Amino acid sequence: MLPNPKAYTRDLINLPYGDKWRALRAIFVHELLGPARVRSFDSVRESEVSLLMERLGHRSDQARPANLTAEFATFTNNLICRTAFGKKTVHVERVLEVIDQVVALFSKLTVGDFVPWLAWINWLTGFDAAIDRCVRDIDDILETVLEDHLARKEGVDKDNFMDILLGIYRGDVPGVSIDRITVKAMIYDVLGAGTETSAKALMWMMTELIRHPHIMKKLQDEVRGETEGKTVITEDDIQRMPYLKAVIKETLRIHPPVPIYMHEAREHVNFMGYDVEPETIVVMNVWAIGQDLAFWKDPERFVPERFMDSSVDYRGFDFQLLPFGAGRRICPGIGFAAATLQHTVANLVKNFDFELPGGARGEDLDATEMPGFTVGKKQPLVVVPRRVELGSRSGLEE
């Protein structure tokens, strides 16, 4: 569940299951985030990955450290911004700032979370007022962007989420209708769920690779071997990189970007001897599932090889690995996220070696977590990127 301002409860994530939810789910799956639509954004993804490589290349040329935590935040913000609106805009930077505030607010436990009839205390503490301010800010900004798109004389471009949704709003898709609030709520979902989670996943993946130089070298050898003589990594290349996919799975097992999911029971359920009453919030601890000794040997160790001869995947069919959820409520952006992680990491390890500032060793890298709605690293990931030429030695220095 994405922390959502009260005005945007008509979105896919927070709507209860029913006809309206099914209609919005269909819009996400078929119009916004289906396989064909994800492929249509390949050029945008390639462009933003290329810009990320350029920024790191400048750091390499100057032998200066790069803050990968900040770089990944910029990269994912720009990517989601362009797919959502067709261009980078200052409005989105402000929306993302406010979304960060919303996430921080909802990451705090309040009395009303445990004793509903004491929820009025949130008013006394200023919690409700802070949420209301965020609601007004987000709605004002998204309304401005919506009006800008509606005012375009050339009509719907079909090259970004806002124009696609406005086409449905105008009635371009037979049998489907949405209002202005729903358009803004769905864009809020895309921005809120797509930016921070992807940035955190990239940061943790590179953290683990740097902490384990032998795994970094093995991945670099695979990527560089499959793309020798090429400047662009294609989807066909990615399909020949099983170790890359194993590294991604292992990262998502140990560091799920959202460690818990919350669902509301629609009806009475007896589960494993427990009676769950209607409207009960059920918390699913995704992180704990990934650490369960019943499924994973040495679960605290980062071992991508455990997935090399395994059919276990993160697409919701294997309940021991659920970083995107499962069932009807599985994250509809799973395909977009997977493509982003695969292509970004492949380009990073193909084009650069990475050292830690001051000659520190990889195993000494601080991986202390920062608790929150999404789990980050307490200290930013700062590295010295070294641009590599074809045939040079790969890997983090031992």
Structural contact between residues 363 and 322, judged by C-beta atoms closer than 8 angstroms: no
pLDDT at 154: 55
Q: How far apart are the C-alpha atoms of 123 and 217, rounded to whole Å?
A: 54
Nearest Cα to 113, choosing from 269, 274, 3?
Answer: 3
CB atoms within 10 A of CB 286: 21
Percent of the chain with pLDDT over 90: 44
Give this prediction's pTM.
0.87
Domain boundary assignment for the chain? 6-387
pLDDT at 390: 59
Is the pLDDT at 78 greater than 80, yes or no? Answer: yes
Band (39; pLDDT cuts 50, 70, 90): confident
Residues 102, 105, 111, 115: is their CA dihedral positive or negative?
Answer: positive
Question: Is the pLDDT higher at 339 or at 87?
Answer: 339
Q: Which of 6-10, 199-203, 247-251, 377-381 has the lowest mean pLDDT?
A: 6-10
Q: Which of 74-78, 104-108, 122-126, 385-389 has the lowest mean pLDDT?
A: 104-108
Alpha-helical runs (H) found in the chain: 19-26, 35-40, 42-61, 68-85, 90-106, 111-114, 121-125, 127-150, 161-170, 180-194, 196-211, 213-226, 235-239, 242-254, 286-290, 334-351
For 125-173, the pLDDT digits (tens) are: 888 888 888 888 888 888 888 888 888 755 444 578 888 888 888 887 7
H/E element, 377: strand 376-377
Is the pLDDT at 252 greater than 80, yes or no? Answer: yes
Nearest Cα to 246, choosing from 318, 289, 305, 206?
Answer: 305
CB atoms within 10 A of CB 90: 8
Strand order in the sheet with 382-387: 66-67, 382-387, 352-355
**Once rounded to an integer, what is the mean pLDDT over residues 31-38?**
81
Looking at mean pLDDT, say which of 22-36, 178-192, 193-207 comes out highest. 193-207
Structural contact between residues 254 and 321, judged by C-beta atoms closer than 8 angstroms: no
For 254-285, the pLDDT digits (tens) are: 999 889 888 888 899 998 899 999 988 888 99
Binding residues for heme: 331
Average pLDDT value for the chain? 86
Q: How far apart are the C-alpha atoms of 100 and 134, rounded to whole Å?
A: 10
Is the pLDDT at 244 greater than 60, yes or no? Answer: yes
Band (19; pLDDT cuts 50, 70, 90): confident
Tokens of 385: 């990127």
Percent of the chain with pLDDT over 70: 91
pLDDT at 130: 87
Binding residues: 331
Q: Which of 144-158, 201-215, 289-303 has the lowest mean pLDDT?
A: 144-158
| 1.10.1200.10, 1.10.540.10, 1.10.3720.10, 1.10.630.10: CATH of 6-387 | 1.10.630.10
SS3 179: coil
